[in-house]
């Protein structure tokens, strides 16, 4: 074969080998990005393969020092510790500093003829005694230089400089992604560590083990009083807005008292129709009324030896108030249809969001019963009066619903400040609902200020009265619905309309108060399409339709979907 043909064949083989080496390098870099959780090891491996496969030697990644702002060698291959230590440049200093400042690639074909090349990290005498080139590229994130990738190569190599530049551009981008992933992991880890430390310290407070979180002076005063009176037999009246945690305080009183081994029986006086409430409280004998096919013990008898919690006692019918007064005075109950008194040893803890003194003045509540109940008054502060606890509570609910829904969600900067300045007419229950909604609507594992502003804006349009009385739900239960519109005894299927209110803009997280309407077969397609649009997530579908998840499940079941 002629000499010229041999040279062409050699060049073809060289080009082919070079392409294979480039592909091998890039595949390995991609593999490292997908598998390595140690950026130091990943970048070291990348720089090493650049040297071994392509002859791009002494690779180094320089990043700004957090304290001085100078570029320093953070990752390197083929450099000694002393060389790495010497590799420090101010912005704009030398070739490396200029690349960082301008964001432009620098290709120095002969370092001996370039005044800006400082030979600071690697002494010239250490390098081969022939023409040495230096290539530096910016590492860019969001169109901003965050570091510099630099390599040496011998000028005489057969590979074209342009080929090296093409590969190095890709490598610099990939290294930028490795650094970005590591930064996100570090930020997320720091946030979680901070939150866990904060929550752990909060668990040392005297009410945390009973589900009462907070360190504000207002809450501490209540908890101090609870510890003082828990072991007495005196009746307790807990007042405070709905959603402040009155039932949790009642349970705490029971659990730290000498009655803790006996039952804690809870009854919401506003949740049961007046004609059934007496039977629930006192029980009945067989045949006492139509439908009484067997005898039944009442809540008071069931609480014998323990604690009876009467929630929303301000809504108790006046006819029953005198009978409760007798229980408190004589410690006996008489079932409906019975003829004998049954002695009971029960401690009564009552709660109300109403002003009972005002109810007494209006003739709606017995004065003598008020005095009997108000032996030890406890007032639960509203959330707006314990703003210093909002951060702790928000983190607690964020952690709860992140785990519940299997998502890892964090709050962006500024979100906590918005939560702390909101008025919270619905108190802790409202805060909990807002945090659950934020978790469900979060994007890429983060709750941003725009999302929380949107949710709080909608909450501000819901009147406080909608939060003030939801008697069928616990004070701060995990099952609380995001939209405070359900009333006791109302079926969950009576709030769907195909026409949203005029003010609704379709924004995520916006609650729609739908007019009263029963389930209709014509709604099946709308419900099915909403669930499909949300990928089968019924909670998201319910929010898109302006329903609670419970309402949506009821309608799906009713329509056989």
Q: Where are the domains of the chain?
A: 15-187, 214-381, 387-558
3-state secondary structure of 332: strand
- Of 24-28, 192-196, 242-246, the one with minimum mean pLDDT is 192-196
Of the pLDDT bands very low, low, confident and very high (cuts 50, 70, 90), residue 241 is: very high
Report which DSSP code applies to 381: P
Residue with tokens 């209110």: 501
- Fold observed for domain 214-381: Rossmann fold (3.40.50)
* 214-381 and 387-558, same CATH topology: no
d(CA 429, CA 476): 5
* Mean pLDDT for the stretch of residues 39-58: 85
Contacts of 479 (CB under 8 A, 6+ apart): 473
Question: Hey, what are 207's tokens?
Answer: 């009410």
Q: Where are the beta strands (DSSP E) in 289-379?
A: 296-297, 307-311, 332-333, 342-343, 347-352, 376-379
Q: What is the DSSP string of 482-525?
A: SS----TT--TTSB--SS--TT----TT----PPPB---GGGHH
Architecture of domain 387-558: Orthogonal Bundle (1.10)
Kind and range of the H or E element at 312?
A: none
| Mutual angle of helices 161-202 and 390-404, in 10-degree steps | 120
Question: Hey, what are 464's tokens?
Answer: 């406080």
CATH class of 15-187: alpha beta
Other Cβ atoms closer than 10 A to 539: 18
| Cα within 13 Å of Cα(482), Cβ side | 31
Residues of the chain with pLDDT > 70: what percent? 79
d(CA 517, CA 555): 12
Q: Check: CB of residue 77 under 8 Å from CB of residue 51.
A: yes
Report whether pLDDT(346) > 90.
Answer: yes
d(CA 417, CA 400): 20
Considering the chain, what is the average pLDDT of its residues? 80
Report whether pLDDT(408) > 70.
Answer: yes
- Of 104-108, 512-516, 546-550, 553-557, the one with minimum mean pLDDT is 512-516
Report whether pLDDT(265) > 90.
Answer: yes
Q: What Å distances lie between residue 277 and 256, 340, 344, 352, 418, CA to CA? A: 29, 20, 19, 17, 42
Residues of the chain with pLDDT > 90: what percent? 43
Report whether pLDDT(318) > 60.
Answer: yes
Contacts of 58 (CB under 8 A, 6+ apart): 51, 76, 77, 78, 79, 122, 151, 152
d(CA 221, CA 147): 54
d(CA 21, CA 325): 91
d(CA 495, CA 37): 50
Q: What Å distances lie between residue 131 and 108, 113, 136, 161, 384, CA to CA? A: 11, 10, 17, 14, 73
């Amino acid at each position: 074969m002629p000499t010229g043909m041999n040279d062409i064949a050699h060049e073809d083989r060289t080009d082919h080998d070079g392409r294979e080496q480039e592909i091998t390098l890039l595949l390995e870099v991609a593999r490292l990005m997908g598998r390595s959780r140690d950026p130091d090891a990943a970048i070291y491996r990348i720089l090493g393969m650049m040297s071994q496969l392509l002859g791009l030697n002494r690779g180094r990644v320089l990043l700004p020092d957090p304290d001085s702002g100078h570029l320093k060698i953070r990752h390197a291959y083929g450099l000694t510790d002393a060389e790495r230590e010497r590799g420090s440049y101010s912005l704009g200093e030398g070739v490396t500093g200029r690349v960082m400042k301008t964001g432009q690639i620098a290709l120095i074909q002969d370092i001996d003829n370039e005044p800006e090349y400082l030979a600071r990290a690697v002494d010239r005498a250490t390098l081969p005694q022939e023409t040495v080139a230096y290539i530096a590229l910016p590492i860019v994130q969001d169109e901003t230089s965050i570091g510099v990738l630099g390599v040496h190569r011998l000028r005489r190599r057969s590979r074209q400089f342009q080929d090296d530049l093409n590969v190095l551009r890709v490598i610099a981008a990939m290294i930028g992604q490795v650094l970005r992933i590591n930064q996100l992991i570090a930020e997320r880890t720091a946030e979680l560590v901070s939150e866990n430390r904060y929550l752990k310290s909060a668990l040392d407070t005297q009410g945390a083990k009973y589900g009462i979180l907070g360190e504000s002076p207002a809450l501490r005063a209540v908890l101090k009083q609870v510890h003082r009176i828990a072991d007495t037999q005196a009746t307790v009246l807990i007042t405070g807005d709905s959603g402040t945690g009155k039932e949790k305080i009642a349970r705490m009183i029971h659990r730290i008292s000498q009655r803790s081994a006996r039952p804690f029986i809870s009854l919401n006086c506003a949740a049961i129709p007046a004609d059934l409430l007496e039977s629930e409280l006192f029980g009945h004998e067989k045949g006492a009324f139509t439908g009484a096919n067997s005898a039944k013990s009442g809540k008071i008898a069931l609480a014998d030896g323990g604690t009876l919690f009467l929630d929303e006692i301000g809504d108790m019918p006046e006819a029953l108030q005198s009978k409760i007064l007798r229980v408190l005075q004589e410690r006996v109950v008489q079932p409906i249809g019975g003829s004998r008194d049954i002695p009971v040893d029960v401690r009564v803890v009552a709660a109300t969001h109403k002003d009972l003194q005002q109810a007494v003045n209006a003739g709606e509540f017995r004065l003598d019963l008020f005095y009997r109940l108000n032996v030890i008054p406890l007032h639960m502060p509203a959330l707006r009066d314990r703003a210093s606890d909002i951060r702790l509570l928000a983190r607690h609910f964020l952690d709860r619903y992140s785990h519940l829904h299997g998502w890892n969600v964090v709050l962006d900067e500024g979100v906590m400040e918005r939560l702390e300045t909101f008025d919270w007419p619905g108190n802790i229950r409202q805060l909990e609902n807002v945090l659950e909604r934020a978790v469900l609507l979060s994007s890429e594992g983060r709750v941003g200020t725009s999302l929380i502003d949107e949710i709080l804006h909608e909450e501000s349009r819901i009147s406080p009265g909608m939060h003030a009385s939801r008697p069928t739900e616990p004070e701060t239960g995990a099952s609380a619905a995001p939209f405070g519109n359900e009333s006791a005894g109302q079926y969950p299927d009576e709030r769907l309309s195909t026409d949203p209110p005029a003010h609704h803009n379709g924004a995520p997280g916006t609650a729609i108060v739908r007019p009263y309407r029963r389930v209709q077969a014509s709604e099946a397609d709308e419900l099915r399409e909403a669930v499909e649009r949300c990928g089968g997530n019924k909670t998201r579908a319910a929010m898109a339709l302006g329903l609670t998840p419970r309402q949506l499940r009821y309608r799906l079941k009713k329509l056989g979907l």
